[in-house]
């Protein structure tokens, strides 16, 4: 049985199910968190293969982390 072709974006940026408390802000933050993890994976792969320097990788991850923290703050998500 032949499977339907997968969308390129779905293949490159897979999303996992959300199992937490279902609220709009939690769903948005979960999507942001998954995007963060995916991008960090790409950055670490680029650094490991020598395509970017360790300092550049660090700078990019630090910027992504700041963006993730800002999204958490804007969505009013507590640490609880």
pLDDT (tens digit, 9 = 90+) per residue, 17-61?
888 888 999 999 999 999 999 999 999 999 999 999 999 999 999
Number of folded domains that form the chain = 1
Domain-embedded: residue 17: no
**Confidence bin at 67 (pLDDT 50/70/90):** very high
Domain-embedded: residue 4: no
| Domain containing residue 54 | 22-74
Position 38 scores a pLDDT of 94
The Cβ of residue 24 has, within 10 Å, a number of other Cβ atoms equal to: 8
Residue environment code for 38-62, b if the CB has 16+ CB neighbours within 10 A, otherwise e: ebbeebeeebeeeebeeeebeebbe
- The number of residues making up the chain comes to 80
Distance CA 25, CA 45 (A): 30
pTM (global) more than 0.75: yes
Selected residue with higher pLDDT from 10 and 33: 33
Domain-embedded: residue 2: no
Domain-embedded: residue 15: no
| Residue 73: pLDDT over 70 | yes
């Amino acid at each position: 049985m032949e499977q339907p072709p997968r969308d390129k974006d779905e293949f490159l940026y897979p999303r996992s199910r959300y199992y937490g408390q279902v609220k709009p802000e939690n769903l948005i933050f979960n999507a942001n968190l998954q995007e963060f993890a995916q991008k960090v994976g790409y950055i670490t792969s680029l650094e490991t293969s020598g395509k970017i320097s360790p300092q550049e990788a660090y700078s990019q991850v630090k910027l992504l982390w700041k963006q993730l923290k800002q999204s958490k703050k804007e969505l009013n998500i507590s640490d609880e």
